[in-house]
Amino acid sequence: MLFTSYGFIGFLLIVLVLYYILPKSFQKVILLLASFAFYALSGPLYLLYLFSAILTTFLAGRYMGKNIEVQKAYIADHRDTISREGRKLYNARQKAKRKRAMVYAIVINIGVLSVVKYTNFVIGNINALGGQLTFLDIALPLGISYYTLMSVGYLVDIFRGTIKAETNLLNYALFLSFFPHIVQGPISRYGELSRTLCEPHDFNSQNIIFGAERILFGFFKKLVIADRLFPVVSTIAGDPKTYRGAYILCLMFFYTLELYADFTGGIDITIGVAEMFGIKMTENFERPYFSKSLKEYWRRWHISMGTWFKDYLFFPIAMSSTMQKFSKFLRKHFGDYVGKRLPVYISSFIVWFMTGLWHGASWNFIVWGLLNYVILMISEEFEPLTVKFHEKFIPMENRVYQGFMVIRTMIMVSMLKIFDCYANVGDVFASIGSIFTTGNFGIFTDGSLLELGMDVFDHGVIFATTLLLFVLSMIQRRGSIRQRMLALPFAVRAMLISALFIGVLLLGDYGVGYDSSQFIYNRF
Amino acid sequence: MNVREELMEILEDLHPEVDFETEDALVSGKVLDSFDIVNLVTELDDAFDIEITAADLVPENFDTVDGIAELIMKRMEDI
């Protein structure tokens, strides 16, 4: 069920009413049943995948939790009789048992994700090399890429001792299946979400109003901006032979805007829905298009994914004893510089390869991930030079130069983003190359842009809404817009909300037989 | 040289421009990025012969010099 469908609005209203009119002890159960119902609507059989992830990771977590208790009790009981060495040996054995449980559960769940998401990709590659394998008729269960990462994070956190294992299956099932975040994240952490998710909530009109405002803004971004841009993006990327040169610049701009409106709009709806239930979720964006470097961009875009890969993949690899030994070996034979850098670069390479692969089973995403890696590593290598440049010529604080850095980052990001749009990597490189060779810049003035699926009115709407997003982002730098709106007189606030609502109704890209397009990040 | 002094030397080598004595959000405030952290851990491993794992990377351990020094001493006791 799409967030932007009438069905979802009806579903949300029913769940909200039940959530607040029934006794508070039922709230978790209502949310859980609603989440299962929401999930079942994507295909009842897919529930089996979700249930298997819930059960396997819950049981592994329980085992680890119990093991920690047993270990603590044993050490407490034998404090006077066990030597320091004996205690260390016992602790190490228990830790190894927990590690086994964690690894088994992770292998099962990553295994399921790999089979459903990557089998046909592997078959396609084998066939390209001359194989004749038949593709599997297998569909991707809703949100599997998200809930798998959440469940892995949960197990690793228990193993690391940063959270306690959940003892209540319903609480854990709700954490993994909570309907607002299962379709496109954020990739929540159990330690951050479980308390607010499972504790009872009183009805609070402020939560309802704030949540509704956030949802409305999400609808606005998705229906007015993202869906309006969708046809143009599809037209240009769908025919790489015809649309070349300056059209690719349009694609870069339009797709960057579409993806922002689509993904941040979807997350606005997610966070807004949760807020209506009194549940506070972590933010997934921090004005990413104001970043001055690609490194900064990745700290501000899809934050929950970036931090997941950093905490659960990059650090474990980069800090593993194997990598530390490798670093020592390199320093001994090749000097400090190589010894310090190479292990980090290898770890980053693995992380960016996996980040690309996680986004989708296609070479486009893998190449996209690796290009991000290459740019980030080049920036890292040139950092000392950059620092010297700023010391000698233009100080980092120079506002004009900062603006240049933001635009430079935007161009880089938008060039990388169009890897999502094309059918294959060759088309992407050919299209980007054509910007420098085609020279058809006349399309900006001869009316060609009006033949791509947006008329003058649509272009006007996109111009005005882009400006609006920019202004809102500037205001947001000084704090929450909704909090600031509270200080306004009620009539002004009501007028602004009504304007947004009317904007969604009148400017939403509905058309005949309207069917809002799928959120882009749902497919990951 | 005690643990804290040696640690300060390593940190100042890593980022001479940072005032580590007063900084209290080295990780959560992103003063140290992922690369810095991995390099710091390698240096600590070398200097104190200790093993720091990804599980230790929580703000309590890495946000201040005192937190890092405490972690080092804890790991040295484990050996």
Nearest CA in chain B to A346: B35
Distant-in-sequence, close-in-space partners of B16: CB < 8 Å, separation ≥ 6: none
Given CB atoms, is A523 within the 8 Å cutoff of chain B? no
Q: What percent of chain A has pLDDT over 90?
A: 71
pLDDT at A512 over 70: no
User: Which residues on B lie below 8 Å from A383 (Cβ)?
Assistant: none
Q: Which of A268, A372, A344 is nearest to A3 (CA)?
A: A268
pLDDT at A516 over 70: no
Distant-in-sequence, close-in-space partners of A335: CB < 8 Å, separation ≥ 6: none
Task: Say how far apart CA B40 and CA B24 lie, in whole Å.
Answer: 17
Please tell me which of the candidates A295, A314, A340 has its beta carbon nearest to residue B42. Answer: A340
Distant-in-sequence, close-in-space partners of A183: CB < 8 Å, separation ≥ 6: A3, A142, A143, A146, A266, A270, A519, A522
Task: Say how far apart CA A14 and CA A16 lie, in whole Å.
Answer: 5
Give residue-wise pLDDT tens across range B34-59.
Answer: 888 998 998 898 888 888 888 888 88
Give residue-wise pLDDT tens across range A123-156.
Answer: 999 999 998 899 988 888 999 999 999 999 999 9
pLDDT score recorded for residue A481: 85
- The answer to whether A56 and A164 are in contact (CB under 8 A) is no
CA distance A344 to chain B (A): 7
Going through A197-336 in order, the beta strands assigned E by DSSP cover: none
- Residue A36's pLDDT band (cuts 50, 70, 90): very high
The model's pTM is 0.90
A312 C-beta neighbours (distance < 10 Å), count: 21
Segments making up each domain of chain A, as ranges: 24-200, 204-281+440-524, 289-423
**Residue B71: which domain range?**
3-78
Give the side-chain half-sphere CA count within 13 A for A146.
24
Please tell me which of the candidates A88, A319, A344 has its beta carbon nearest to residue B54. Answer: A319
Q: Kindly tell me the number of DSSP H helices and DSSP E strands found in chain A.
A: 22, 0
Sign of CA dihedral A378, A383, A388, A394: positive
- Residue A48's pLDDT band (cuts 50, 70, 90): very high
Q: Which amino acid is at A314?
A: F
Q: Among A103-112, A209-218, A370-379, A435-444, where is mean pLDDT lowest?
A: A435-444
Average pLDDT rounded to a whole number, residues A54-69: 96
Give residue-wise pLDDT tens across range B66-76.
Answer: 999 999 998 88
Given CB atoms, is B41 within the 8 Å cutoff of chain A? yes
Q: What percent of chain A has pLDDT over 70?
A: 97
- Residue A521's pLDDT band (cuts 50, 70, 90): low
Average pLDDT rounded to a whole number, residues A364-376: 96
Q: Do A315 and B35 lie within an 8 Å CB cutoff?
A: no
pLDDT score recorded for residue A522: 62
- The answer to whether A16 and A276 are in contact (CB under 8 A) is yes
CA angle A271, A38, A168 (to 5 degrees): 80
Q: Do A299 and B37 lie within an 8 Å CB cutoff?
A: no
Nearest CA in chain B to A299: B30
Task: Say how far apart CA A214 and CA A130 lie, in whole Å.
Answer: 51
Q: Among A16-25, A248-257, A510-519, where is mean pLDDT lowest?
A: A510-519
pLDDT score recorded for residue B11: 92
User: Which residues on A lie below 8 Å from B30 (Cβ)?
Assistant: 299
pLDDT score recorded for residue A503: 86
- Asked if residue A343 has a cis previous peptide bond (ω within 30° of 0), the answer is no
State chain B's mean pLDDT as an integer.
88
CATH number for B40: 1.10.1200.10
Please tell me which of the candidates A160, A295, A319 has its beta carbon nearest to residue B38. Answer: A319
Give residue-wise pLDDT tens across range A334-356.
Answer: 998 898 889 999 999 999 999 99
ipTM for the complex shown: 0.85
Please tell me which of the candidates B33, B51, B58 has its beta carbon nearest to residue A321. Answer: B51
State chain A's mean pLDDT as an integer.
91
Average pLDDT rounded to a whole number, residues A461-476: 92
pLDDT score recorded for residue A513: 45
> Based on the structure, what is the number of domains in chain B?
1
User: Which residues on A lie below 8 Å from B33 (Cβ)?
Assistant: 295
Give residue-wise pLDDT tens across range A79-134.
Answer: 888 888 888 899 899 999 999 999 999 999 999 999 999 999 999 999 999 988 99
User: Which residues on B lie below 8 Å from A311 (Cβ)?
Assistant: 54, 57
pLDDT at B15 over 50: yes
Give residue-wise pLDDT tens across range A184-218.
Answer: 889 999 999 999 999 999 999 999 999 999 999 99
DSSP-based three-state secondary structure for A83: coil
